[in-house]
Amino acid sequence: MKIKVKREKLIKAVKSLQGIEVVLESSDDAKEALNLILARPGLFKSTEAGKLKDIHVTSVQEYKTSAVDYEVMFLLEFLFEDQVTLEIKVAVIKELQEFFDKL
């Protein structure tokens, strides 16, 4: 499963949780920022988040009106342990997405 997160949301999340303002120029930068966010204790309410093995990050540019007016987004692909139910996957992803929506 994948979700899209705006670059600015990742930057705000790291700033609010870690107190540093990061620059995200690539998917590797976004992955490091995401690891800083996920390392924060208490981010997830459920204990099911421990079944999340990894998150792959891909950079995407969405063009609004022209070739010079674009927004950088990151696709987060969630990889879970084997035998994790769809309901658990949705719950974990929803918690993370709600966190970003609060920013």
Question: Tell me, what's the pLDDT at 44?
Answer: 79
What residue segments make up the domains of the chain, in order of their start? 2-102
pTM of the model: 0.85
Name the region of 42 (left: φ>0; alpha: ψ -120 to 50; beta: rest).
left
* Token pair in block for residue 13: 């999340």
Question: Tell me, what's the pLDDT at 52?
Answer: 87
Question: What span, in angstroms and rounded, lies between the C-alpha atoms of 66 and 50?
Answer: 42
Question: Using CA of residue 66, residue 33, residue 89, residue 59, what is the dihedral sign?
Answer: positive
pLDDT tens for each residue of 3-31 = 999 999 999 999 999 999 999 999 999 99
pLDDT tens for each residue of 41-86 = 887 777 777 788 999 999 998 887 777 778 899 999 999 999 899 9
Q: Cα dist. 59→10, 71, 82 in Å?
A: 12, 11, 26
